[in-house]
Amino acid sequence: MVNPRQKPHVLLVEDDPAIARMYRLALTEYGYRVETVPDGEAGLEAVHDRRPDLVLLDLRLPRMDGMQVLEHLRDDIKKRGLKVIVLSNHGVDETVGATLKLGAVEYLTKATVTPRELAQVIARHLVGRMS
């Protein structure tokens, strides 16, 4: 059996409990260790305290929205190569471009991506980081 600490650690910052539970269960089945937090401030705290391999970030969040979280994570993205994938239903072209400019590696729309596709995208971005 694989040691749970060897599984890639994915942090999901999502305020909707049903969506968070669905992605956590699905991504766990694909071999990821998934932690969920309900707001932007908790997301920043989790990134700094537990150093996940990848962050899935919603944009519309309480306490601190996803764009603000990305701005605060800029140094982590640049200095340690933190991978952030925006996972939101807020798909305005300007918003997509702004998230990528702030350092997100990809922007996915919740309504159109399946858990399997999401797991594949995560795997693509973690290639070479997991051994």
Q: What is the pLDDT of residues 33-42, one digit of tens each?
A: 999 999 999 9
Q: Which amino acid is at 82?
A: L
Name the pTM for this structure. Answer: 0.92
Give residue 127's pLDDT: 86
The span from the CA of 116 to the CA of 106, in Å, is 16
Give residue 93's pLDDT: 86
The span from the CA of 28 to the CA of 101, in Å, is 30
Give residue 90's pLDDT: 80
Give residue 91's pLDDT: 73
The secondary structure of residue 114, as a DSSP letter, is -
Give residue 66's pLDDT: 96
CA distances from 66 to 74, 105, 116, 121, 124 (A): 12, 14, 23, 19, 22
Residues in the chain predicted with pLDDT less than 70, given as ranges, are: 1-5, 128-131
Q: State percent of the chain over pLDDT 90.
A: 83
